[in-house]
Amino acid sequence: MSTKNNFYKLSGKIQHYQWGGYNYIPSLLSVANEKQQPFAEYWLGAHVNAPAQLEGAQPSKLNEYIAANTSALGEKVYNDFKALPYLLKILDVKDMLSIQVHPTKQAAVEEFAKENAKGVALNASNRNYKDDNHKPELMAALSEFYLLHGFKTPELIRKTLSSVPELSFLLPFFEGENYAKLYEEVMQMDQQKVNEHLQPLIDRIVPQYRNNELQKDNPDFWAARAALTFNEGSNIDRGIFSVYLLNLVHIRPGGAIFQDAGILHAYLEGQNVEIMANSDNVLRGGLTPKHIDVPELMKHVAFKEVVPNVISGSATGTKEKVFVSPAPDFQLSTVSLEKNEEFSLHATSTEIVLLLSGSAEISNDEKKVILKKGEAFVTFAGATITIKALENTEIYRAFVPAV
């Protein structure tokens, strides 16, 4: 069956992780949240654990449709990846996410095979590797967004440890700018010592947090929130150390940031569009009730300084802005259309388009479909699709870089 010039309405899968908000994604998708569940992520992709559904196509699951119609990917993408190489998501971060890192492609292949050989079930709570893929990712902010991203520069590390009296004991571990030694100390420290070192800090900053005396550009704000969210009984979450060692980044709507393998990060608050390699591999080191495996995390951390690079998007000469990243697996762009404006899309691989706001007529030579806010469609290599805005409309487009 030829996929040329085909397109289908696409419905994604909601993930009800405990850190999600209650209103943003239900409002975007125009669905009720009668049970008051957290709506954390909305997945639009072909990951085997939560594939999107095509309306009016057989097979209806996107991963199965592509497997049955490999020409949908285009020859080069099929040869390079054999499947859809990216996953598009909407995130609503109400509570802080875990301190985490993602493996390289080679490490993911090796470690996934090891866990399989040990007989660890794919859905086991203590499973580290859900697939054999790397997970570089790019996020574009839809609101004021805060995250931790990579180790601070040596100068900032020393300034932080010197200015926070409860953390000054760590300065000797950073002699010679030894990131590995510093991070190993806090991540492998006995829990009793974690408590002894962090309790005075918590006692100082939590009252300030409760009295609204801390600003969000201050690590104390997030450390206090983490303590109130994640501490279990008398045990203090060691992830709080990372709040001070990593860059605290504030991204405004329209800004984006890329996170490669090995870069420690944690989302703190806000909504975003996220695109990543088609993987669910996450190694966690704190600030989460999910499975934590510190030794495994440490194997994959890039122990180096990171200067955050907030991307604003590159104009293409049309209504489109592209968030350029080094990942070969994906590209993300945004298109803003005023009422009655048109955008012509020429797909070189499988592309997913989501309407973040407004409504539009999607058409080719054979059919027309009206989509509204929160709805999406998928099209395939060789297709030419016209998007006509019926009101002011913003769309996000996921595709594979020029092939």
What are the CA-CA distances from residue 153 to residues 149, 157, 393 (Å)? 12, 6, 40
Cβ count near 231 (within 10 Å): 15
Which of 225, 238, 284, 397 is flagged as catalytic? Answer: 284
| DSSP string computed for 259-272 | E-TT--EEEEEEEE
Structure tokens at 344: 């012509």
Cβ count near 131 (within 10 Å): 18
Structure tokens at 112: 């996934």
Cβ count near 114 (within 10 Å): 12
Q: What angle separates helix 191-210 from helix 219-230, to the nearest 10 degrees?
A: 110
Nearest alpha-carbon partner for 379 in 82, 135, 69: 69
What are the CA-CA distances from residue 15 to residues 6, 19, 90, 92, 374 (Å)? 28, 10, 10, 11, 16
Distance CA 344, CA 21 (A): 34
Distance CA 279, CA 336 (A): 29
What are the CA-CA distances from residue 1 to residues 54, 290, 393 (Å)? 15, 43, 33
Distance CA 47, CA 134 (A): 13
Cis peptide before 85 (omega within 30 of 0): no
Return the H-helix or E-strand segment holding 87.
strand 86-93
284 is catalytic: yes
The catalytic residue positions are: 284
